Structure 1
Amino acid sequence: MKLQQVDKSRYRKNMNLFLVCLVGGLILLSLGFGAGLIALFGVEAIPGEPTGNFHWNLLGVILAVLLCSLVVNQLKTQPFFHEIYYVWQLKQLQNRTYRKLAKIKSAAAENQSSALIIMLFYYSSLRLVYQLDDNTLTLSHLEKELGQLQSQIDAAGLTLNVSQFEVGLLEKY
């Protein structure tokens, strides 16, 4: 995976619209499926007694989540979702890297080039996502970490950059 420039305003606009539609869709579908299942299979309400239709409502929520997941899976390659899907994949890769970060950091301390490339990509991708999500609280700390890493790379006499990163490098750790 390569780092790409993302149009922040388009990403934010599309992401906000997507989230509103997703939440609205989940609510409406959950209510619709739940009401339909209760109408078909539910128990008549007796005043003062619980209806026992919780499982039908829960099944309605599960069906709504499945349907929304299928729709999103089909639409993820559309131009509207380009930035959203790219950032989602980037966040997944960051999570995968984070789970191996202790091993990668110890290898980077020994100036292993693959570990340094992974760290460089990891920090650069975090900076991109933080800027897109307006996470300014941790951005200064991240810039400091990235500067220290770049100093370490320069001190080791290596010429590494983010474009050298390949997902297969993570398999080593």
Structure 2
Amino acid sequence: MQLIQIDKARYRKHLNRVIAGCAAGLALGSLAISQTLIALFPDESGSHFHWNLTGVVITSLAIAWLLNKYRRHPFMTEVVYVWELKQALNKITRKMPKLKAAGREGNADALLAIHYSYAGSRLLWQLDDNTITMDDLAIKQTELDSVAAKYNVTLNADEYDANILKQF
């Protein structure tokens, strides 16, 4: 997955609309479904937990289906890109201890994966205005650059391929 610069204002605007739409859809849909089920199948004991739960589950599945159906819509471009980038970075993070160990020994693929992780994290943190941890990231990037220089490895995030994680 290539790292691309995206329009922060457009991303935030679309993300907020998607979140608000999902929240409103979940509230209204689950309420409508559960109230319909309660009206059709009343319970003498007054407990309608199972109908409420059914309404939430059905509405959640419907929202997930809609999000998946419209994931290629131009409105969703930035939101889906960030979601997929977070998944890619999470895969790297789960293997980070092994990557760091291999990187200290000069493994170019490990160093590239770590570099990609740092570059992707920097992009995400800038989009979310999470600049507090940028200093720590800069320190880690400097350490990575020194290890890469020690082993004469050139790091370019554009060369990263998720398949290199299979060896770790």
If the TM-score is normalised by the length of the shorter chain, which range does it land in? over 0.9
Quick one: which of 84, 87, 90 aligns to 1:92? 87
Using the size of structure 1 for normalisation, the TM-score is: 0.94
Query: 1:2 touches 1:163 (CA, 8 Å); kept in 2?
Result: yes
Using the size of structure 2 for normalisation, the TM-score is: 0.96
Report the more deviating stretch, 96-105 or 153-162.
Answer: 153-162
* Distance across 2 between alignment mates of 1:158 and 1:113: 6
- Counterpart of 1:5? 5
Quick one: which of 76, 80, 93 aligns to 2:75? 80
Deviation at 1:164, TM superposition (A): 1.2
* Distance across 2 between alignment mates of 1:41 and 1:107: 61
Deviation at 1:42, TM superposition (A): 2.2
Q: Secondary structure of the residue that 1:137 maps to in structure 2?
A: coil
- Counterpart of 1:47? none
- Counterpart of 2:57? 62
Aligned residues: 168
Task: Return 5+ residue gaps in structure 2 as ranges.
Answer: none
Aligned: 1:32 with 2:32: yes
Report the more deviating stretch, 34-43 or 74-83.
Answer: 34-43
**Structure 1 ranges of 4+ moved more than 4 A:** none
Matches within 5 A, 1:1-173: 1-44=1-44, 51-173=46-168
* Distance across 2 between alignment mates of 1:26 and 1:121: 36
Report the more deviating stretch, 34-43 or 77-86.
Answer: 34-43
RMSD between aligned residues = 1.0
